[in-house]
Amino acid sequence: KALAEALRINKTLQSLWLQENKLGDEAGKAIAEVLKTNTSLQDLFLSDNPLSDETGTALAEALRTNNTLQQLTVSGNRLSDEVKQLLREAVVGKPVFLHM
């Protein structure tokens, strides 16, 4: 939650590398919530964490309104094919590279 709050007020951070940090769904959903309004983050690396469909769904929802993110890496998490499809659909027409 502290990280999400820092992202909420930070207006300059462009890349955030959080792979292999044992982030769970609580942290993942908090980051997704921040993405809805963050206008500086361009690259977010969340690979190899124990994130589940709960976080994946929250990220997909956030990507529908976020127009700044250019790269999202979520490989090595526990995302189902259905949630991966939600993520793909959320970025249709946007210049976002998804690595799943």
How far is 69 from 78, CA to CA, in rounded Å? 22
Residue 98, pLDDT > 90, answer yes
How far is 99 from 26, CA to CA, in rounded Å? 21
In the chain, the amino acid numbered 21 is: N
How far is 68 from 21, CA to CA, in rounded Å? 24
Q: What does DSSP assign to residue 49? A: S
Average pLDDT of the chain? 95
pLDDT band at 76 (very low <50, low <70, confident <90, very high): very high
Residue-wise pLDDT for 3-27, tens only, equals 888 888 888 999 999 999 999 999 9
What pLDDT does 65 receive?
95
Nearest one of 7, 54, 8 to 29, comparing CA atoms: 54
How far is 29 from 50, CA to CA, in rounded Å? 12
Alpha helices, H only, the chain: 2-9, 25-35, 53-65, 81-90
